[in-house]
Amino acid sequence: MDLYHLICYIHLHYVELLGTITGLIYVLYAIERKRILWIYGAVSSMLYIYVFWQSGLKAYMMLYVYYVVISLFGWFSWNAQSKSKQKEISRLNARMWYIVAFVSLVLYLIIVGLLTIYANSDIPWADGLLTSLSIVATWLLVKKNIDNWLIWIAVDLLSAIVSVYKGLYFTAILFVIYTLLAIKGFYEWKKEMQIKITH
């Protein structure tokens, strides 16, 4: 791709590019557990609502509406925690993993059903899976549960594949970077947990 075609591509995909940049900042702040992550998450999500609507990923678009709402919840939730005792990083026990799996399955079946009936999605199984797991992972992030990163690794890998399939190359690159950052996030939070245990 020469410079002219690159400039044309960026011009056509500038909303996606801005969503990618703010999305990266969001994840970097999430790793550091900085409250401002929720502002960047909301901005990135608003940009991606448009991107996914244009690409026909209806459930994923609605997921980003959820992200805007959960970003507001996260902002106020983390503010309350900072004024009192900061919430410690937690882990899911076996029982909670079953609950997470059950909730994810129920959300998946509902979303795939709605997509099949109403949205005429060309990949409802992937759209539904990404959406259901992302809802659960974001909720776990709000709760500062380290296992959110494990779910994000799976979601981000599949999202990269779907983005390539849909021709969203900036977004595919973003999700590959997200995958690496999710791995980093998991180990950073794990190290933080081990420091807390030893003190």
Mean pLDDT by 10 residues, the chain (199 residues): 75 85 90 90 92 76 86 84 63 93 95 81 83 91 91 94 85 88 92 70
Q: What is the pLDDT of residue 22?
A: 93
**Residue 13, CA atoms < 13 Å, CB-side half-sphere:** 18
| Count of C-beta atoms within a 10 Å radius of residue 74 | 23
Q: What is the pLDDT of residue 31?
A: 87
Q: What is the pLDDT of residue 87?
A: 64
Q: What is the pLDDT of residue 104?
A: 95
Q: What is the pLDDT of residue 84?
A: 45
Q: For the residues of 161-190, what is the DSSP string, one character each?
A: HHHHHTT-HHHHHHHHHHHHHHHHHHHHHH
Rounded CA gap, 138 and 158, in Å? 16
Q: Please count the residues of the chain.
A: 199
Q: What is the pLDDT of residue 169?
A: 82
